[in-house]
Amino acid sequence: MGCTPVARSLTCTVCLLLALVFFAHVSITGFSFLTNQYVYYRFSEDAGLPYIPNDASSGCKNQSDTDRKADDLQSLRERVQAKTAKFLAVNSLISMGLGLLALILVAHLSDRYGRRATIGFILLGQSVTNGVTTLVVLLHLPVPVIIFGSVTCGVLGGGIIALITQTTVCFADLTRIPREAEDVRKQSAAGQPNRGQLERNRFIFLGVLDATLLLASALGFGLMGSVIQRCGFSSSVIGLLFLYCIPVVLIPFLPETKPPTLSPFTVQSTSLSPCNSPDSSSVMQSVTPISSGLPSYLQLFRSKHPSTLLVAIVMFLYMLVALSDNQFTFLYLMGAPFCWTPEEVGVYNFVGSFLLSLASLALTLITAWSMRVKSPTVLTKSRLPESRHLSNSSVALLVDDEMVEQSQRSAEDLEPAHLQSWYHVIWSRTRMLTYVSVAFLLITLSKLIIGFAFRLSQPFCNAAVYVALVLLFTRAAVVPTLKSFISSLHSAENQNRLFVIVGIAEYGGLLVGEPSLPAFYAFTVSVFPGAAYLFCAVLSAIALVVVLTLLMSVVKELVSLKNTADSPATLSH
């Protein structure tokens, strides 16, 4: 991008966004890990059980001062785990339920007051939650007080999901695509990135964001596991408070990325182009800008845009399957036959998140390299006999509003190079969805393995856990891939509303998963501890079917585009 002032400003903005979300996520992840461990510690203490098993070889069946039988002690430990899981389920339900409502408010604030002010509002709500947790730990307050902090976080801002959503919107702002045909011509004349380059840049930004979040999770889990076991809860929570001050200090230096033309009070045209008409069945059609408010969100689905709904369903299932098990995995691994310590659980989470961050970054760069815009091939207008009827062809279903309007006015406005660029874009989307399909297949296998791992003895049960962890590496870059895919289908004016829908899907997955899966684990821990993971495997298989459905639709669009061009041999992959 060179060393122009614009390039330097863009680089500075991206670095500030990544630094802010990195330190915020490290501290929030650390607080989450500390809260889970502290609740388990308090409930174990109340039951007269050791927080850390003293003899792992005994299957966590330690004799107490009253010389209770090992079976009775194991039964008591299972009841403590069930009680912990139920409390965390209620806490998550309250936090996520209120946060889902706050996400709509955050979107309105973002359009009205800007992205920077909204991020500050989100961090304010999270700071209150962190403060409540700190008081509970330092003053040894009753454990249910933690729920008050969750209520505050849900009402004020919505927590980490809202922060990630707004950061994603910022990156969409930085790579927004001009809607008007005149703007597109000016952009090309000025040598600025075209549609394919902007989509590639957006995918890189979102991929780096995903890798940053995973690295932050690795540090949050890994550091807190060791610090809690070696220094105690009080020192850990004080250190997290100081760490949380870093993103707060960075907010004033963050540039505003909101486009100056966007306003919550500006009502856009609700007319739909031919590719958005009810008669069109394309899964790849574009959506025109729409008015603000609740109807504007529903319009994204009413405009016959099934890809938006399908991706939202996949995001919902992904959050439910891949990210909602943190609330009970530590209980599963600290129980028999694993008997892990908090430090070992932290190391496990660190290794998984760190390697995921590396895999996410590598996969993002590889995919971005494959998405690079190539030189136009030898396509001539004579090879496009149907171009004058383009507005009714399948090609029109693959383009955004500006190209549809161009083709409706004059067939001569559509250059062959533009058609070649669109073929490259659709081919890149096909590869994206292929990767996501493979990822969900291996996620399903991973959940099955860890679900049956407790049936094995040492050391095979631990080996099975790490085999499942290796298979989970494939989920790296799934989120940025899906977000980049769905973002490329919508115009710049719809990006904030679009990512609100994506955020709601993510929140919905956590809202259902974080309360229900720990509760499910609590009811099955004494019968079949791995049942929750088997349930996740079933949900992952359902998500795989949805992704394959979307992939087949995209492949059909790709074939249709090649047929319209009437020269498939000249279109390079």
Task: Looking at mean pLDDT, say which of 103-112, 256-265, 491-500 comes out highest.
Answer: 103-112
Q: Where are the domains of the chain?
A: 9-51+71-258+302-372+389-570
Peptide bond before residue 337 is cis, with ω within 30 degrees of 0? yes
In this structure, which amino acid lies at residue 316?
Answer: F
| pLDDT tens digits for range 477-531 | 688 788 878 877 776 667 667 777 887 888 788 888 888 898 899 999 888 999 9
Give the SS3 label for residue 55.
Answer: coil
- Residue 283's nearest CA partner among 488, 553, 562 is 553
| Least confident among 329-333, 389-393, 462-466, 477-481 | 389-393
- Write down the pTM of the prediction: 0.71
pLDDT of residue 160: 84
Confidence of residue 26 (pLDDT cuts 50, 70, 90): very high
Contact 203/480 with Cβ under 8 angstroms?
yes
- Residue 406's nearest CA partner among 421, 420, 386, 387 is 387
Contact 514/93 with Cβ under 8 angstroms?
yes
Q: Is the pLDDT of residue 382 over 60?
A: no
The CATH code of domain 9-51+71-258+302-372+389-570 reads: 1.20.1250.20
Angle at 95 between CA 447 and CA 115, to 5 degrees: 100
| pLDDT tens digits for range 283-342 | 334 333 434 455 555 555 555 457 888 888 999 999 889 888 888 898 899 888 888 888
